[in-house]
Structure 1
Amino acid sequence: MSNEKGTLRQRWAVGGLLLLLAGCSPGTPKYLAGDLNGVNHTSAAINYFMVNGYGGPNISPYGYGGGFCCVSLPSQWSPGLKLKVEWETDPAPYEKIKRKPDGFNFDEAALAKHEANYGRHTAIVELPPYEDELCALEVHFLPCHRVKLSTSCWRYPSPNSPIKEPLNMQEPATCPK
C-alpha cells in the first residue's frame, strides 16, 4: 500500500511539473526591454533622471547620456500609455564650490548653498508608438521643464530621429503654462 502512495505522489508531482512547464511555453512576452538614453537640450545639468522608477544617467548641459540597461515597456503599445519622468537639475553645473583646507572635500555650507538651487521636476508624458521591437527609450529634456520621448531605433541627432529640436536650446524669458 505504501508503494502505491509513493507512485501516486510521483504521478502528481510529474503532472504538476508538466503544468508548470506548459505555463512557461514561448509566446508573446508581456514586456519589452530597451536601453534608457537621455538628451539634454538645456544649459542646466541633469543630475539624474528616472522613468517609471528606472534610473537613468546624469547628463551634462547640451549633452547626451545613456545606454543604461534597461527600461521595461509593455510589449503591445496602445494609445494613451503614459510614463512618469522625474529628474533633478543643477542650473549652475560649472560653479566652483569652496573646498575644505585638505583640498579634497567640499565645504559643507558651500555645497548646501549650491544644492539649494537644484530643481526637482516631474512630467507625465505620452509614450510614442512602437512596433514589436524596442531599441531604446530616449528622453529629451527641453526648456521650461518639458520632456519628449522617442522609441525610434534612430538615435538623436540622426536626421531620421523623430525629435527635431536643436541641441542648444535657450530658456525663454517666460515659459508657457
Structure 2
Amino acid sequence: MVAITFLLGGLLLSACAAEQPKRLGAPIEGYNHTSAAINHFSVNGSGGPNISPYSGGGKQNCCVSLPVQWHPGLTVVIEWEKDPNVGASKYWTDPMFSDAWRKRMANHKAGYTRHRAVVEVAPYERLGTVDVHFLPCNQVKVAAVNAVPGMAGYPYNYPLRMEEPSRC
C-alpha cells in the first residue's frame, strides 16, 4: 500500500512539473494607420512606443514574452490611449506652461480615449518583433513574424494612410 501511495504521489508531482512551452522576450513596435496619435500602448502589460499619425516602425521597446512556437488561439491583450485632436496646442496663443495653457491642456487631455482589445496573433514559424497595427475604427492586428511590412510572408500589408470611415 505504501508503495502505491509513493507511486501515485510521484505521478502527480511529475504531472505538475510537465515542461512548459518555451517562451522568449520579443521587442514591441507599432504601426499607426490612422489620423489620431497613439500616446502609448502595451502588449500584455509591456509598453510600446508612442506613434504619430500615419507612421510607425523603427522605434522598439522591450519586450513581451511569447511562445517560441505559435499555436492556434494565441492571443495578446493590447491597451492604448489615443489623442484624436493631434497638434491642437500649436494654435494656442497662451504662453507654454502658463496657467491658461495648462487649463487648455487639461481640457485637451479629457478628449483622449482609452481602449483595450484581446487580439489573435498571426501565425508565425519563427518568432520575431511583435508588430501592433492600429487600424480605423479601433481595430488592431498583431504579427510576430520574423519579417517587416512589405516583405514576403508578412501577414498585414496595410497602407500607412487609411481613412476613418464616417461610421464604424
- TM-score scaled by length of structure 1: 0.75
Question: Identity over aligned residues, as a percent?
Answer: 48
- Name which of 137, 149, 155 aligns with 1:162: 155
How many pairs are equivalent?
148
1:50 equivalent to 2:42? Answer yes
Instruction: Report 1:66-105 matches (<5 A).
Output: 66-96=59-89, 98=92, 101=95, 103-104=96-97
Q: Bigger radius of gyration, 1 or 2?
A: 1
Over the aligned positions, Cα root-mean-square deviation in angstroms equals 2.3
Structure 2 gaps of 5+ residues are 1-18
Partner of 2:7: none
Partner of 2:24: 32
Give the letter for the 1:127 counterpart.
Answer: V
**What SS class does the counterpart of residue 96 from structure 1 fall into?**
helix
Deviations 1:6-44 (A, max 9, x none): xxxxxxxxxxxxxxxxxxxxx997211221010000000
Query: Using the alignment, how far apart are the partners of 1:128 and 1:161 within structure 2?
Result: 9
Preserved CA contact (<8 Å) 1:141 1:147:
yes
Give the letter for the 2:55 counterpart.
Answer: G
1:108 equivalent to 2:102? Answer yes
Preserved CA contact (<8 Å) 1:51 1:83:
yes
Partner of 2:52: 60
Give the letter for the 1:50 counterpart.
Answer: S
Partner of 1:121: 115
Structure 1 gaps of 5+ residues are 1-26
The offset of 1:77, in angstroms, is: 2.0
- TM-score scaled by length of structure 2: 0.78
The offset of 1:129, in angstroms, is: 1.7
Give the letter for the 2:148 counterpart.
Answer: R
Structure 2 vs 1, CA of residues 113 and 104 (structure 1 numbering), >3 Å: closer, same or farther? closer
